[in-house]
Amino acid sequence: MTAFKNYTVYILLCKDNSYYTGITNDIKRRLLEHLQGVNKNSYTYRRRPVKMVFCEHFQNVKDAIAFEKQIKGWSRKKKEALINREWNKLPELSKRYSPN
């Protein structure tokens, strides 16, 4: 029997009002690492405290990685629509969106 793995793509709101997007297989541990500043070279280290504003869980790591990369390419407004679960706004905020 294969152990069930759960992967989480998450967005943090940093102290400087920027967003950080990441992926992990242990969201509680990873959030604690961000909050404690475990890695002095990480993006969030000097931007603490951070607050998790979005997370989505995946069973397939490839799907999670693809979603994380997708979000990282999005504008701030599109990320905020995702955070607010305003699904209807996502197409109109897409760079390649074409109503035709």
How do the pLDDT tens digits run along the chain, 100 residues long? 555 679 999 999 999 999 999 999 999 999 999 999 999 999 999 999 999 999 999 999 999 999 999 999 999 999 999 999 999 999 888 866 556 5
Q: What is the pLDDT of residue 11?
A: 98
Contact residues for 43 (Cβ-Cβ < 8 A; gap 6+): 14, 20
Closest of 13, 5, 6 to residue 31, by C-alpha: 13
Instruction: Give CA angle at 63 (61, 83), nearest 5°.
Output: 110
The C-alpha atoms of residue 77 and residue 44 are separated, in whole angstroms, by 20
pTM equals 0.89
Q: What is the pLDDT of residue 17?
A: 98
Q: What is the pLDDT of residue 96?
A: 62
**In the chain, what are the domains?**
7-74 (3.40.1440.10)
